[in-house]
C-alpha cells in the first residue's frame, strides 16, 4: 500500500484548507439539536454547498465535487483541523446519499441528491420503533400498497434531529403477513405529509432534536421506494455499512480529539499539576489508536476504490471508534480532575492557559457515551462479528 499523497491530492488539501480558513465561523454554532442551532447549521451547509464542498466524492451533477473517497478523507482531515461545525444532514449525506447512489434510479438520484447536498432537505433516520431497537427485524410499522401509493401506519422513535428534519428514511413492513427481515421495504417519507405527526422527545440536557414519529394512514408515493419491494433489509444493510464502516465517523474526528488530548496533557504538565503515571500511557494509547483507525480507514477506502464492498467487518469498526471515543474523553476528564465537572457555560470553564475549553470535554464525554448505543449497540456488533466474521454458532 502506498501511503504517500499524490501532488494532486496535496493541491486538493491546500485548496480545502484555504476555503475552510476563509469560511469557517469564528465562534462555534449552537448545538444542531436545538431549533436555532439547527437553522444555523443548515445555513452553514448552504455555504459549504455553494463553495462546492458539501459532499466532495459525489458527481458534480448531484451537488458534489467529483472527487474520490481518498480526497473525502483528506477533506475530513482539513474539516476537523479547521474546527468546522458538525454536519446537520449527516443522516442524509453520509448514510442515505451513498445508499441512493447504489440503489436509486436515475430519477431518484436527480430528485434527492442535490437537495441533500445543499441541505435544502435534511434527513432523519427511521429504523427504531418502540418494540424494535436492537432487534430491527421486529419492525411493525406497515406500508400497504394502494394503487401507486403506500398507506403507512405505525410509530418510529429516536429519530435524531427528527424534530426539525424535512424527510425520514426507514424500513416498513409492506407484507403484513411477513416475518422478521422478509417483507420489509425501504421508503422515503416526507415529514410534512398529512398523517405524519412529529413529536420531540425532551432530553435531560434540554435539547429537543430527538423525535418520535407517528404515521396514521400517511400516503407515500410508490416512487419513494428505494430498491425493490420486500428487499428493504438488503438496502438498509448497505446504509448501516456506510454508517458503521466508513462515513458517519471519519478518522479525522478521532485524530482531532487525540491531538486535543495530547495538548491537554502538555498544558496540564506545564502548569505544574501532578499527573498520575498511567495517564501518560492512556494519552499515548489514544493517539496510537486514532492513527490506527485512520490507517484502517485508508485501507477500507482503497478496497472500495478497487471495486470492493463494505461488509460485516463494519461492525469491528463501529466498536473500535465508539470505544475509542469514550476512552479518550475519560482520559481527558481524569486529567482535568475536579474541573472536569464544569459545564461549558460555567465562567471557570472558559479557555485558560492550562485547560482550553474545559466544558467541551464534558459535553464530548456525554455524547461519547451514546456511541456504543447508536448505529446498532456494540453488543449487537459483537454478535455480528461472532456469527458472520468468526463463524461461531448463533447464541
Ligand X SMILES: Cc1cc2nc3c(=O)[nH]c(=O)nc-3n(C[C@H](O)[C@H](O)[C@H](O)COP(=O)(O)OP(=O)(O)OC[C@H]3O[C@@H](n4cnc5c(N)ncnc54)[C@H](O)[C@@H]3O)c2cc1C
Residue 160 beta carbon to ligand X: minimum distance, rounded to whole angstroms: 3
Stretch that binds ligand X, among 122-130, 259-267, 297-305, 341-349 (CB under 6 A): 122-130
Q: Is 108 in the site for ligand X (CB under 6 A)?
A: no
158 within 8 A of 170, measured Cβ to Cβ: no
Locus of grid cell 408515493: 221
The count of residues in the chain is 395
Q: What are residue 231's DSSP bridge partners?
A: 184
Residue 132 CB, nearest approach to ligand X (Å)? 7
> CA 217 from chain center: how many Å?
30
Give least dist CB 250 to ligand X, A.
18
Hey, CA dihedral for 236, 197, 116, 372, is it positive or negative? negative
Query: Nearest Cα to 223, choosing from 125, 108, 109, 126?
Result: 108
Pinpoint the alpha helices (H) of 27-166.
Answer: 35-50, 69-81, 90, 97-103, 106-117
Among 31, 49, 89, 128, binds ligand X (CB under 6 A): 128
Residue selected from 82, 327, 380, 385 as contacting ligand X according to rule CB under 6 A: 380
DSSP assignment, residue 29?
Answer: P
377 binds ligand X (CB under 6 A): yes
By CB under 6 A, is residue 94 in contact with ligand X? no
Residue where the block lists cell 474541573: 339
Please pick, among 243, 276, 323, 379, the residue that the annotation labels catalytic.
243
Contact between 315 and ligand X by CB under 6 A: the answer reads: no
Establish if 370 lies at the interface with ligand X (CB under 6 A).
Answer: yes
Nearer to ligand X, 104 or 126 (CB): 126
Any idea what DSSP says for residue 175? S
Active site residue 243: yes
Beta bridge partners of 169: 125, 188
CB of 201 to ligand X, least distance (A): 10
Site for ligand X in 153-212 (CB under 6 A): 158-160
Where does this chain bind ligand X (CB under 6 A)? 125-128, 133-134, 158-160, 370, 373-374, 376-377, 379-380, 383
Q: Could you give the residue numbers annotated as active site?
A: 243
Amino acid at each position: 500500500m502506498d501511503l504517500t499523497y499524490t501532488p494532486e491530492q496535496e493541491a486538493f488539501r491546500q485548496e480545502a484548507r484555504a476555503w475552510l480558513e476563509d469560511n469557517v465561523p469564528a465562534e462555534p454554532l449552537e448545538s444542531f439539536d436545538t431549533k436555532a442551532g439547527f437553522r444555523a447549521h443548515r445555513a452553514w451547509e448552504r455555504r459549504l454547498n455553494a463553495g462546492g464542498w458539501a459532499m466532495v466524492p459525489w458527481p458534480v451533477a448531484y451537488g458534489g465535487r467529483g472527487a474520490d473517497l481518498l480526497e473525502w478523507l483528506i477533506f475530513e482531515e482539513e474539516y476537523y483541523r479547521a474546527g468546522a461545525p458538525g454536519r446537520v444532514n449527516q443522516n442524509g449525506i453520509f448514510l442515505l446519499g451513498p445508499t441512493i447512489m447504489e440503489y436509486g434510479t436515475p430519477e431518484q438520484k436527480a430528485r434527492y441528491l442535490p437537495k441533500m447536498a445543499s441541505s435544502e432537505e435534511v434527513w432523519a433516520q427511521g429504523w427504531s420503533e418502540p418494540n424494535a431497537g436492537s432487534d430491527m427485524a421486529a419492525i411493525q410499522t406497515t406500508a400497504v400498497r394502494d394503487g401507486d401509493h403506500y398507506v403507512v401506519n405505525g410509530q418510529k422513535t429516536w429519530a435524531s434531529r427528527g424534530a426539525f428534519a424535512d424527510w425520514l428514511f426507514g424500513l416498513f413492513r409492506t407484507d403484513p403477513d411477513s416475518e422478521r427481515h422478509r417483507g420489509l421495504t425501504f421508503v422515503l417519507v416526507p415529514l410534512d405529509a398529512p398523517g405524519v405527526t412529529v413529536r420531540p422527545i425532551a432530553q435531560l440536557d434540554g435539547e429537543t432534536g430527538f423525535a418520535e414519529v407517528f404515521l396514521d394512514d400517511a400516503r407515500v408515493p410508490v416512487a419513494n421506494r428505494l430498491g425493490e419491494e420486500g428487499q428493504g433489509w438488503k438496502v438498509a444493510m448497505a446504509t448501516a455499512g456506510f454508517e458503521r464502516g466508513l462515513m458517519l465517523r471519519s478518522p479525522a474526528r478521532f485524530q482531532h480529539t487525540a491531538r486535543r488530548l495530547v495538548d491537554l496533557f502538555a498544558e496540564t504538565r506545564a502548569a505544574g499539576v501532578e499527573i498520575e503515571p498511567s495517564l501518560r500511557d492512556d494519552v499515548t494509547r489514544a493517539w496510537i489508536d486514532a492513527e490506527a483507525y485512520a490507517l484502517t480507514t485508508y485501507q477500507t477506502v482503497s478496497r472500495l476504490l478497487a471495486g470492493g464492498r463494505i461488509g460485516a467487518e463494519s461492525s469491528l469498526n463501529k466498536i473500535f471508534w465508539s470505544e475509542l471515543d469514550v476512552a479518550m474523553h475519560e482520559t481527558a476528564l481524569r486529567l482535568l480532575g475536579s474541573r472536569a465537572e464544569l459545564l461549558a457555560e460555567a465562567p471557570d470553564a472558559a479557555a485558560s492557559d492550562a485547560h482550553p475549553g474545559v466544558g467541551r470535554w464534558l459535553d464530548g464525554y456525554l455524547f461519547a457515551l451514546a456511541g456504543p448505543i447508536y448505529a446498532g449497540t456494540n453488543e449487537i456488533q459483537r454478535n455480528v462479528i461472532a456469527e458472520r466474521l468468526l463463524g461461531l454458532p448463533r447464541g
